[in-house]
Structure 1
Amino acid sequence: MDKIDITPYRVTAPITLSQVATHEDFGLSDDDLKRGLKSIRRELAEFQDTLYAHGKYGVLVCLQGMDTAGKDSLVREVFKDLNARGVVVHSFKVPTPRELRHDYIWRHYIALPERGKFSVFNRTHYENVLVTKVHPQYILGENIPGIEELSDIDEAFWEKRYRQINDFERHIAENGTIIFKFFLNLSKEEQRQRLLRRLRLKRKNWKFSPSDLKEREMWDAYHSCYEMAINKTSKPYAPWFVIPADNKKAARVTVASIILQELKKYKDVEEPELDEEIKANLEAYRQQLEKESE
């Protein structure tokens, strides 16, 4: 398949999510999309090897989206050819009691990628301006000074959180973390179909929870929060990409293409040069090993 133009997916100016596409197929069949993804994965795997040897950058991939947007399967399919030791996936659930004894970014900070590795956040620090904004009562459980009741959680509180997230991302970017943030833009009708599939297929039943329907009732509220968060925090050092997610195979190709094309811009990522003494004696080392078989 031809190289994808990733420019339309990057958020560089305020967006209105209701006006952004939720479907894309590039005019390709499912088989063509699978082959395209396979080719991109091979290149990503090669880059990962070099990234690890170079040892100066870590890569953080943040995935957000409504329930059933395809985050889990995207992680599985996009990163399956990379060295498993070089990719760590974190799925952030409800904060634990230990996590609540720290600030809300702490658990994400300690999960950042080591230099040379990838970390994938399946749901991210943005839950703290999404779920908590739709359900502000959760904020009270964070035991924050000055926040005693719901009326204390005003617009200034959320503006402060956007600033804190921008500061966090700027800090890690300036210290060698390459940041990708993807919002999987799913249509409400496609979500309905995927929830129905979970109910119809016995092997998918375990994925369904009645809470999925309760959260679905707040679709507009969530989209308003996503739109605000994306517009407030898409920065050159930590850009958001809005990905049409109704077609899972095309979404995977788009995300993989963006990661690969952006990483290739880092021309300084290359394998380190061998020590001159080692390089000068490579032939001697080879001969030594070959003699062992005689």
Structure 2
Amino acid sequence: MGKIKLSSISTKAPKGLNKAKLKAKTEKIIEQLDELQNRLIAENKHSLLVIIQGMDASGKDGLLRDVFGSLNPLGVSVKSYKAPTPEELSHDFLWRIHQHAPAKGMIQIFNRSHYEDILITRVHGWCNDETAVKRMKAINDFEELITEHNHTHILKFYLHVSPEEQQARLKERVHDPRKMWKYNEKDFEEAKLWNKYMKYYQDCFQHCNKIPWQVIPADQNWYKEYVVAQKVYDTLKSLNMQYPGLKK
């Protein structure tokens, strides 16, 4: 995988796409995901880990609701990672991650993830480069472990939003009553560190790429949802899962 330069990748959908048609296609894909999820649960041989990273207001929560919200809740779990608790800090940085790795038959979604420990920690100087290199090796080993020994298939999505769109969405939280609960004044301070975040995201993409990253244009929610839904569908479809017969 070549070096990813985020500034050279568009945050918008390709020109010429029909929004209404693509939204209708996304709905059909999500309907088909229901059947594939049923097979995943029934066959109980594979699991899927979906890792979602992105800047504040890149649309992580909405993506979870609109793509995965209609799936069988018995077979999908979401873990949102925030600042580590004192208990979590008393263990190695992957301790809180490994306990949420998906069991066979499950779709596990990480809303933010172990990658925060080489992103926000480096932006704020809580983790130096030497420690980050060691952590990236540990992350690669962890992902290899669950892939090879538990048949976990991993999809890693970076929701690529522009700074202009991010600012518009953050300001919307100030004025829209339905979104005020998301408002955090610290988000505006974090946004000022944009260039640092881009630097460390790109370093992450380069050194944690045994399982490739998918950079998803995220300025338009309808396109973002289509791309993610399609990639999840393609991954599950490729497993050629079958319903088991009657138990004897």
User: Would you call these one fold, judging by a TM-score over 0.5?
Assistant: yes
CA contact (8 A) 1:51 1:117 kept: yes
Is the partner of 2:48 in helix, strand or coil?
strand
Counterpart position of 1:78: 67
1:262 to 2:240 alignment: no
Q: Which amino acid aligns with 2:132?
A: W
**Which of residues 271, 275, 279 in structure 1 aligns to 2:243?**
271
1:190 to 2:179 alignment: no
Return the alpha-carbon distance in structure 2 between the equivalents of residues 116 and 226 of structure 1.
31
Return the alpha-carbon distance in structure 1 between the equivalents of residues 16 and 75 of structure 2.
34
Return the alpha-carbon distance in structure 2 between the equivalents of residues 262 and 221 of structure 1.
32
Return the alpha-carbon distance in structure 1 between the equivalents of residues 178 and 243 of structure 2.
45
Return the alpha-carbon distance in structure 2 between the equivalents of residues 246 and 122 of structure 1.
18
Mark the runs of 5 or more structure 2 residues left unpaired by the alignment. Answer: none
**Which of residues 169, 188, 191 in structure 2 aligns to 1:213?**
188
Structure possessing the higher radius of gyration over alpha carbons: 1
Mark the runs of 5 or more structure 1 residues left unpaired by the alignment. Answer: 1-11, 140-152, 278-294
Return the alpha-carbon distance in structure 2 between the equivalents of residues 162 and 247 of structure 1.
31
Q: Which amino acid aligns with 1:162?
A: M
Return the alpha-carbon distance in structure 2 between the equivalents of residues 28 and 84 of structure 1.
32
1:160 deviates by: 1.2
Return the alpha-carbon distance in structure 2 between the equivalents of residues 25 and 241 of structure 1.
16
Return the alpha-carbon distance in structure 2 between the equivalents of residues 63 and 273 of structure 1.
35
CA contact (8 A) 1:25 1:247 kept: no
Q: Which amino acid aligns with 1:174?
A: E
**Which of residues 70, 73, 79 in structure 2 aligns to 1:90?**
79
1:26 deviates by: 6.2
TM-score, normalised to structure 1, is: 0.81
Q: Deviations over 1:236-265 (max 9, x none)?
A: xx2210000000111011001011112222
**Which of residues 129, 134, 138 in structure 2 aligns to 1:164?**
138
- Tell me the number of residue pairs that the alignment of Structure 1 and Structure 2 aligns: 247
Return the alpha-carbon distance in structure 2 between the equivalents of residues 165 and 204 of structure 1.
34
Return the alpha-carbon distance in structure 1 between the equivalents of residues 63 and 243 of structure 2.
29
1:230 to 2:187 alignment: no
CA RMSD of aligned residues (A): 1.4
Return the alpha-carbon distance in structure 1 between the equivalents of residues 141 and 156 of structure 2.
15
TM-score, normalised to structure 2, is: 0.95
- Report matched runs for 1:109-148 at 5 Å: 109-137=98-126, 139=127
Return the alpha-carbon distance in structure 1 between the equivalents of residues 16 and 245 of structure 2.
44
Counterpart position of 2:4: 15
Counterpart position of 1:149: none
